[in-house]
């Protein structure tokens, strides 16, 4: 299922850095995705679980995922 999620994100907004554990199948999972907002001086990601990209919402993502099935 994570492949569909990744494919949906690539369609909605290519080059969107993020990370997540396990699979993204529900809105609850989606809200745990860590979106990269920057990189610190030690090259670690700076992330937020609030998606900063207007192109990416759970509604849009789930629709794309559904279309990919």
Partner 1 sequence: MALSKIDVANMLTGVTPVANGGTALSSGFTNGKLLQVQHTNYSTAVSISNLGYETTGLTCAITPSASDSKIFAMFKLQCRGHSITSSYDWGYSCKVTRTGGATGDIFEEKSGSGESFSTYYSADGDTTHTSQHSSFQFLDTTHDTTSAITYTVYAKSQSASEAAKFQDSTFPSQFTLMEIAA
Q: Contact positions toward partner 1, by CB under 8 A?
A: 2-3, 6-7, 10, 14-23, 34, 36, 38-40, 42-47
Query: Rounded to the nearest 5 degrees, what angle is found at the Cα of 63, between the Cα atoms of 17 and 66?
Result: 100
Residue closer to partner 1 by CB (options 24, 62) is: 24
Rounded to a whole number of angstroms, the minimum distance from the CB of residue 50 to partner 1 is 16
Rounded to a whole number of angstroms, the minimum distance from the CB of residue 23 to partner 1 is 7
Q: Confirm if 2 and 23 have CB atoms less than 8 A apart.
A: yes
Residue closer to partner 1 by CB (options 53, 59) is: 53
Query: Rounded to the nearest 5 degrees, what angle is found at the Cα of 68, between the Cα atoms of 65 and 29?
Result: 20
* 3 state DSSP class of 38: strand
């Amino acid at each position: 299922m994570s492949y569909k999620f990744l494919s949906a994100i690539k369609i909605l907004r290519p080059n969107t850095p993020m990370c997540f554990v396990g699979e993204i199948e529900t809105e609850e999972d989606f809200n745990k995705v860590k979106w990269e907002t920057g990189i610190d001086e030690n090259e670690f990601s700076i992330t937020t679980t609030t998606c900063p990209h207007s192109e990416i919402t759970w509604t849009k993502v789930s629709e794309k995922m559904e279309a990919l099935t």
